Amino acid sequence: MPQITVDYSAPLADAFDRKGFALALHTMVVETAAAKLPACKTRFRPAEDLVIGGEVDGHVLVHVMIALLPGRTEETKAALTERTLDLLRAHVKPAGLTLHASAEVRDLDASYTKFEE
């Protein structure tokens, strides 16, 4: 915990500083939601195909989902999403493309468990 998933348009491969974003995001999540830095895990998933409204060209997408153990207030979750979008603005530079960026925070299900070896 937290488990972070970032879906992004494949054309952003060179315009998205993913490692820099993840490092900054982990620090922000620790500061905002009292997470532990070693517990922050982020995975990136490129999306090849994208359709926005009636258009297939000229748009790119980044969506960040942060899953946390239950117990954070709605205010904390809202702060996480806003700060996540601020970090995206600093780490994604989609020259000539319209960027659609979004973020959400959800609680992990009670069945969540993990191990480390």
Summarised one tens digit per residue, pLDDT across range 65-78 is 999 999 999 999 99
> Looking at the 3D structure of the chain, how many domains does it have?
1
Write down the pLDDT at residue 116.
86
In a domain? residue 115: no
In a domain? residue 56: yes
In a domain? residue 116: no
In a domain? residue 114: no
Write down the pLDDT at residue 42.
98
Write down the pLDDT at residue 38.
94
- Which domain does 81 fall in, by range? 3-107
What DSSP letter does each residue of 6-30 carry, written as one string? EEEEGGGTTTB-HHHHHHHHHHHHH
Q: pLDDT tens digits for 5-60?
A: 999 999 999 999 999 999 999 999 999 999 999 999 999 999 998 898 998 889 99
In a domain? residue 112: no
